[in-house]
Structure 1
């Protein structure tokens, strides 16, 4: 991920009983976002403690390119497809200032603990 990426985080509250349909539709129409040349990827996460709450995180090359997408017809159609599932939500935007990759594939837990000592 470029260190100067622009990140968008949506918090979405989904109508009770519509969660599975929301997840299915989100995946089915996701390429309307990820196929934009400035999109670096996006994630859908379900809140572990609050039923019906989801977070969508989307990374972009720059704020300018995201805003270009945000005002496009493509984005409007994407939002219209997800709107029937939604009972509330919010959007947070941010500039990524640093990125430290994890090393989940290298070494065991024991090696990590010993290195920390």
Structure 2
């Protein structure tokens, strides 16, 4: 992912990150995860989407963090208005007890040693074994 160099690049030109916190109704965690995976390509198939992650909280039962990266904010905001986005929200809504969203421009990215890949494309075991 191309990102700024920390020198004040125009945020409109930077990758855009969306971070959701979703609390699902207790007992619906498995259904939420299955549903999120089933409908996820509705987001990742968008040409402006750089990828997304579903993270289950280690500290709060029934809480998930969803991270989604976009080419820029303008393209994310355009996608937010599409029927596909509205359908995605409609499908997840019955499983959701509450939620919140934070957004921001990605101004820098520092890959960790374990993310280095060797020529085969697999993570370096040397970096992991340390």
Same fold (TM over 0.5): yes
Q: Please list every run of 5 or more consecutive structure 2 residues that lacks an aligned counterpart in the other structure.
A: 4-13, 115-123
TM-score by length of 1: 0.90
How big is the alpha-carbon RMSD for the aligned residues of Structure 1 and Structure 2? 1.4
Question: Does structure 2 conserve the Cα–Cα contact (< 8 Å) formed by 1:8 and 1:58?
Answer: yes
TM-score by length of 2: 0.81
What residue is the counterpart of 1:83 in the other structure?
Answer: 93
Deviation at 1:39, TM superposition (A): 0.1
Q: How does 1:40-51 map to 2 (within 5 A)?
A: 40-51=50-61
Q: Please list every run of 5 or more consecutive structure 1 residues that lacks an aligned counterpart in the other structure.
A: 112-117
Equivalent-residue separation in structure 1 for 2:84 and 2:15 (angstroms): 21
Higher relative contact order (CA 8 A, sep 6+): 1
Of 60, 66, 87, the match for 2:76: 66
Question: What is the aligned residue count?
Answer: 111
